[in-house]
């Protein structure tokens, strides 16, 4: 893979993990309010205007309520996603394993699912139904396990796996291939002696943003019904554990196929911005890390 002119780097090291973590942190602080509005749309089946009215009525003090879990979960997930993908892919490539990239992406998605408890708590904290039951992230984490048991942390795990695996495979497969295109492969300076004018630097920023934005928007739209189903699974507290298929069937009967895509336009916009920021930040941070902390080359 050619990644911004850094194709000679030794992949699968700490640079990948730290770059993924930093990119995810930046993204969370920019997009959290948009995500919260989309969550309300998905959960209650309301319009964007109604979701914004809800958030406005609750006040600015609660706008970032629930940011703790996604900040921790998404930053860790981003680190795992990029770091383990490159590490596993490198390991498989050395052994001439068929479909190394797809297998590595799928494995990375499964490992990310270990963070499901944080995603589960995020869903509960963003649901106004539980505003009085859980005060904050630590309270929700402790109460969930103490009152409902360990299994409750992983409610909706099947939905998480069905989302993470395919989305990672699609993202890395197309990202690796599209980065090799001349139009999308300008590079950051690889050493302090390189001089890159403002126009080429801008082209690099723009190409990284648009690549991540396009893939993020497309993949999130394709898997939107999966994420809607996962959200409804995790919005339940206590009681029986329903399968992914049963919850999906219930939603289809209630809303119909078109109803499963309610809010998809805003979700596409959110994913477009979010993954544009992530890919841009990832490539930029990685280039700086490799500039100041060079890694061994093959």
Q: Which two tokens stand for residue 169?
A: 């495979």
Each residue's pLDDT expressed in tens, for the chain with a length of 298 residues: 334 444 444 444 789 999 999 999 999 988 888 878 877 887 778 888 898 898 889 887 788 887 877 788 899 999 999 999 999 999 999 998 889 999 999 999 999 999 999 889 888 887 878 887 888 888 889 999 999 999 999 999 999 999 999 999 999 999 988 887 766 665 555 554 555 567 777 888 899 999 999 999 999 999 999 999 999 999 999 889 999 999 999 999 999 999 999 889 888 988 999 999 999 999 999 988 888 887 655 4
Q: What b-and-e string marks burial along 183-217, b requiring 16 or more CB atoms within 10 Å of the CB?
A: ebbbbbbbeeeeeeeeeeeeebeebbbbbbbbbbb
Res 200: pLDDT:
77
Our CA dihedral for 7, 88, 217, 5, rounded to 10 degrees, sits at: -10
Q: Which two tokens stand for residue 138?
A: 């630590």
Res 3: pLDDT:
41
Q: Which two tokens stand for residue 14?
A: 């700490």
Res 2: pLDDT:
37
Q: What is the CATH number of domain 14-181+201-292?
A: 1.50.40.10
Q: What does each C-alpha distance from 274 to 32, 91, 200, 211, 281 come to in angstroms?
A: 10, 30, 23, 12, 11
Res 228: pLDDT:
95
Q: What b-and-e string marks burial along 150-166, b requiring 16 or more CB atoms within 10 Å of the CB?
A: eebbbbbbbbbbbbbbb
- Output the DSSP codes for 154-204: GTTHHHHHHHHHHHHHHHHHHHHHHTTSGGG-----SSTT----HHHHHHH
Res 188: pLDDT:
54
Our CA dihedral for 69, 71, 72, 78, rounded to 10 degrees, sits at: 130
State the first-to-last Cα distance of the chain, in angstroms, to the nearest integer: 14
Res 185: pLDDT:
60
* Residue with tokens 């890159």, as numbered in its chain: 196
């Amino acid at each position: 893979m050619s990644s911004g002119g850094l194709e000679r780097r030794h992949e699968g090291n700490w640079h990948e993990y730290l770059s993924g973590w930093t990119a995810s942190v930046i993204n969370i602080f920019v997009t959290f309010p948009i995500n919260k509005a989309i969550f309300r749309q998905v959960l209650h089946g309301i319009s964007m205007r109604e979701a914004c009215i809800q958030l406005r009525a609750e006040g600015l003090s609660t706008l970032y309520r629930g940011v703790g879990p996604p900040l921790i979960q998404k930053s860790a997930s981003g680190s795992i996603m990029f770091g383990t993908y490159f590490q596993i892919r490198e390991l498989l490539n050395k052994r001439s394993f068929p479909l190394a990239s797809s297998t590595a992406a799928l494995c990375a998605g499964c490992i990310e699912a270990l963070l499901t408890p944080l995603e589960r708590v995020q869903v509960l904290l963003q649901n106004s139904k539980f505003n009085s039951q859980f005060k904050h992230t630590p309270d929700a984490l402790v109460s969930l396990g103490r009152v409902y048991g360990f299994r409750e942390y992983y409610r909706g795990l099947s939905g998480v796996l069905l989302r993470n695996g395919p989305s990672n495979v699609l993202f890395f497969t197309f990202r690796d291939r599209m980065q090799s295109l001349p139009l999308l492969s300008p590079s950051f300076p690889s050493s302090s002696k390189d001089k890159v004018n403002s126009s080429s630097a801008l082209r690099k920023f723009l190409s990284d943003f648009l690549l991540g934005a396009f893939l993020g928007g497309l993949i999130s739209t394709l898997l939107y019904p999966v994420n809607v189903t996962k959200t409804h699974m995790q919005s339940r507290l206590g009681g029986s554990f329903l399968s992914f298929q049963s919850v999906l069937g219930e939603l289809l009967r209630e809303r119909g196929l078109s109803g499963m895509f309610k809010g998809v336009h805003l979700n596409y916009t959110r994913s477009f911005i979010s993954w544009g920021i992530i890919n841009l930040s990832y490539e930029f941070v990685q280039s700086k890390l490799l500039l100041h902390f060079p890694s061994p080359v093959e």
